[in-house]
Amino acid sequence: MNNLNKEIKKFSESIQKTKDYQDYKKASEIYNNDKEAQKLLKDFQEAQRASAIFQQGDFPGMAEQRAKTEELLNEVRKSKVINDWIKTKRKAQGAISEMAITLSNDLDLNFAPPQKGGCCG
């Protein structure tokens, strides 16, 4: 296994040299250094969760919460930092998923079974 671990390390280093991964790391660094973008995304995610709770319970103030969530969503959509980070992350993850599929097929051993609906397959 020791030789296999060395090869995996080389494979990981090769992935880190790809454009998709480099783009993600650069966008991630920019995002991680932008406290305003982080706060905006956190506020939006919290508003989404609150909106879901309001909707499930049909609580008073649901319309106001939905409006707040929409306003934050519009701000998130305008943020180049957030959008670049999300876009590059998804692209890098997609490339890794493709590699997992190739490995699964080549080894006839499913590394990443597709989910069959819902959160847990």
DSSP string, 41-107: HHHHHHHHHHHHHHHHHT-TTHHHHHHHHHHHHHHHHH-HHHHHHHHHHHHHHHHHHHHHHHHHHHH
pLDDT digits (tens, 9 = 90+) for 7-55: 999 999 999 999 999 999 999 999 999 999 999 999 999 999 999 998 8
Q: Enter the pTM of the model.
A: 0.78
CA dist 116 and 121 (Å) reads 4
pLDDT digits (tens, 9 = 90+) for 90-118: 999 999 988 888 888 898 888 765 666 55
Angle at 55 between CA 53 and CA 59, to 5 degrees: 85
